[in-house]
Amino acid sequence: MTNWNALTSFISSNYDVNEMTDSRVKMVFNTGDLRSQVVFLWRMELAQGEEWIQVESVIGPIASLDMVQALRIMENHVCGGLALSGELLTVRHAAPLANLDANEIVRPIVLVTSTADDLEKQLIGSDTF
């Protein structure tokens, strides 16, 4: 993928997209056991005009979560880190778009989705996001 348009074309061809704007793609994945997980792809631009993709999935409201437990769960995860989006805790991964191969977006989408769902299951117990 060389830019956002190439990425969204790839995503539209390979995934069910719920919403798409000039800077965001929203998808919902079935994660099994009657659970689903919302995942966002964000177009990010550095000050120098360099385009990046950010993959993000919500875990839950920060106020109701045990952050130490969340960090311990993330301890052995290779892809994604914890971040805040407003008052929501998320799993987030980012990469530059310039030379991104398909596997460099497909695998992080899967890992961010499964990690966020696992954290939501362990920390909240219900399927909210």
* Amino acid 125: pLDDT: 84
Domain assignment present for 129? no
Give the SS3 label for residue 8: helix
Domain assignment present for 111? yes
Domain assignment present for 14? yes
Domain coverage including residue 70 = 4-123
Domain assignment present for 128? no
Q: pLDDT tens string for the chain (129 positions)?
A: 688 999 999 999 999 999 999 999 999 999 888 899 999 999 999 988 899 999 999 999 999 899 999 999 999 888 889 999 999 999 999 999 988 888 899 999 999 999 999 999 999 987 776
The CATH number of whichever domain residue 79 belongs to comes to: 3.30.1460.10
Domain assignment present for 110? yes
Q: 32 with 92: CB under 8 angstroms? A: no
Terminal Cα-to-Cα distance of the chain (whole angstroms)? 28
Domain assignment present for 72? yes
Number of residues written out for the chain: 129
State phi, psi for 70 to the nearest 5 degrees: -60, -45
* Amino acid 61: pLDDT: 95
Domain assignment present for 66? yes
* Amino acid 32: pLDDT: 85
Total domains in the chain come to 1
* Amino acid 129: pLDDT: 67
